[in-house]
Amino acid sequence: MNNRNARTEEDTTTSRIVGRNIKRLRTARGLSGRRLAALVQERGFRFNHSSLSRMELGINAKGGQRAVTVDELVAVASVFGVEPQELLTEPKCVACFDAPPLGFACRSCGAAA
């Protein structure tokens, strides 16, 4: 039986990375979940705070693993002004998440803003 909605472990592993990156960028920019959801909606994408929360946590409404869709990835990346690829990959530096605060340099990786 072919289930077009079936998710593989690889799908959900990548989705968990995306969720962590969304949360990281959202909190770094001082956005609440509701505000980020509203900004995504302003770009014409049907999206709500619950969807965002489940995306960040990597779980669906029934408690299973939630995969991020390409449309969601592109919509959220556009709000942050980043390429979707940036949401798909783990940051190289876990201290600054590859983005130290403006005017500072990371002591771990040496990146400067």
Give the pLDDT confidence of 6-50 residue by residue, as tens digits.
444 544 588 889 999 999 899 888 999 999 999 999 998 888 999
The whole-angstrom distance between residue 25's C-alpha and the CA centroid of its chain comes to: 7
84-112 tens-digit pLDDT: 998 998 888 877 777 777 788 888 888 88
pLDDT in tens, 55-87: 999 888 888 888 899 999 999 999 999 899 989
Tell me how far apart the alpha carbons of residues 100 and 111 are, in angstroms, rounded to a whole number.
Answer: 7
- 67 Cβ contact list (under 8 Å, min separation 6): 7, 11, 12, 14, 15
Is the pTM for the entire model greater than 0.85? Answer: no
Superfamily in which the 9-88 domain is placed by CATH: lambda repressor-like DNA-binding domains (1.10.260.40)
Compute the distance between CA of residue 32 and CA of residue 68 in angstroms, rounded to an integer: 19
Our CA angle for 85, 68, 113, nearest 5°, is 35
What amino acid occupies position 53?
S
Q: Is 64 left (phi over 0), alpha (psi -120 to 50) or beta?
A: beta
Give the integer Cα–Cα distance in Å for 31 and 28: 8
Q: What angle do CA 21, 74, 87 make, to 5 degrees?
A: 20
